[in-house]
Structure 1
Amino acid sequence: MSVVDLAAYLPNRNPAVPVPDFKSAMRSLAGAVSVITLGKGPSRTGFTATSVSSFSTEPPTLLVSLNMGSSSWAALRDEGAFAVNILAHDQAAVADRFAGRGGIRGNDRYVGWEWSRLETGTLGLDDAVAVIDCELDEAIERHTHAILLGRVRGVKVSPARQPLLYWSGAYQVLKPGQEGSSAR
């Protein structure tokens, strides 16, 4: 499969947007907080992400963004599998741990929570809102990040759990009664 770099065909009409302006705009985008787990044994690691999206339903595929400067990038290339653990409203400590807060790294990030081994060998968080086990289908390298396309191999859902959200630079929780409401 080939990827076309459209930037090569389009003139640079605007200078680069200042990074602080871009970050400010992205804080307006609310996202579910997930922990991406990967690796096995002592090489186990992972990271916190809000850049997770459904990519395709046929076949079921997810899209995840990963900074190629992270230790998780090397582990992912070695293992070829990852799990998306969509966190519940009371799991901010898990998100912080996998975001590297407190200086805890690698396999030590898993200590303190219950995990189950998934089909790909990756670990899934037992009481997450959902756990999606993926085999790496493709990694598209662009700028500082890779776009990971993960072919879904298994799904576990706990529908009674409310998700942890990230918006405006902080964790957020749905208020009672917000579930299932829609904007018109």
Structure 2
Amino acid sequence: MPKAIRPVRDDAASFRSAFRHLAGGVSVVTVGHGDDRTGMTATSISSLSAEPPTLLFCVNRSSSTLLALERHRAFGVNFLDASQKQIADRFAGRQGEKGVQRYEGASWTSAVTGAPLLVGGLASLDCEVEEMIERHSHSIVIGRVRAVRLGHEGAALVYWRGDYERLGWMAEEAATAVGLLPY
């Protein structure tokens, strides 16, 4: 027997519920230098153009990350692997972490712009702010990619239905599965 058709709704809670069904890769956006660093967890990173390499993401206008982006005009986008859930939680401020506290427990480097780039992730993009467009509660940040740092070939951390999941296999799991490593 078919399910009953639910009524169409146009409220913010329904909108958020609908988007919980869209899986998204988990990244951390990193901004600043030294003790003036902050950042955020994001699933809204999107490629805009390959020529020139450009991306976009959205950030709440009340976020400390937006103020840092306006100040520094450079940022890193770091694609997390399935083992880096704790980094995603820290940059989301799940335990109240703010600013430079979010960088604890991970190794960082930099490239062209000096923005913090995660060591050990799937990939990191070093970007300069090209444009910021205010729309409603958020700003759309368009960034020109200045450097790409490729990491390892592992399982991706994704966000789906309000929780973290993994997509793919970690390298050691794949090697074990095909008999290259002992159990």
- After TM superposition, the score normalised by the length of structure 1 is 0.85
Is residue 134 of structure 1 aligned with residue 122 of structure 2?
no
Unaligned 5+ runs, structure 1: 1-15, 180-184
1:15-36 deviation per Cα after TM superposition (whole angstroms, max 9, x unaligned): x821110011101110000000
The aligned amino acid for 1:90 is S
Deviation for aligned residue 1:175: 4.8
SS at structure 2 position matched to 1:94:
helix
The residue that corresponds to 1:17 in the other structure is 10
- Superposition pairs of residues 162-177 of structure 1, within 5 angstroms: 162-176=155-169
1:39-96 deviation per Cα after TM superposition (whole angstroms, max 9, x unaligned): 1121100000000000011110001111110011111100000110000000000000
The residue that corresponds to 2:97 in the other structure is 104
Please, what is the CA RMSD of the aligned residues?
1.8
Distance of 1:112 and 1:158 partners within structure 2: 18
Counterpart selection for 1:86 from 72, 79, 82: 79
Shift >4 Å, 4+ stretches: none
The residue that corresponds to 1:45 in the other structure is 38
Deviation for aligned residue 1:170: 0.6
Counterpart selection for 1:65 from 33, 37, 58: 58
Distance of 2:116 and 2:126 partners within structure 1: 9
Distance of 1:175 and 1:42 partners within structure 2: 36
- Aligned partners of 2:154 and 2:169 also within 8 Å: no
Is residue 120 of structure 1 aligned with residue 110 of structure 2?
no
Identity of aligned residues (%): 48
Query: Which structure would you say has the larger Rg?
Result: 2
The residue that corresponds to 1:146 in the other structure is 139
The aligned amino acid for 2:161 is S
Taking structure 1 as reference, are residues 20 and 85 closer, same or farther at Cα in structure 2, changes over 3 Å only?
same
Greater shift in the superposed pair: 157-166 or 115-124: 157-166
- After TM superposition, the score normalised by the length of structure 2 is 0.86
Distance of 1:70 and 1:42 partners within structure 2: 18
- Count of residues paired in the alignment: 164
- Aligned partners of 2:115 and 2:126 also within 8 Å: yes
Distance of 1:56 and 1:32 partners within structure 2: 18
Unaligned 5+ runs, structure 2: 1-8, 175-183
Distance of 1:114 and 1:175 partners within structure 2: 24
1:121-141 deviation per Cα after TM superposition (whole angstroms, max 9, x unaligned): 111010010100100000010
Deviation for aligned residue 1:118: 2.0
The residue that corresponds to 1:13 in the other structure is none
The aligned amino acid for 2:165 is Q
Taking structure 1 as reference, are residues 43 and 173 closer, same or farther at Cα in structure 2, changes over 3 Å only?
same
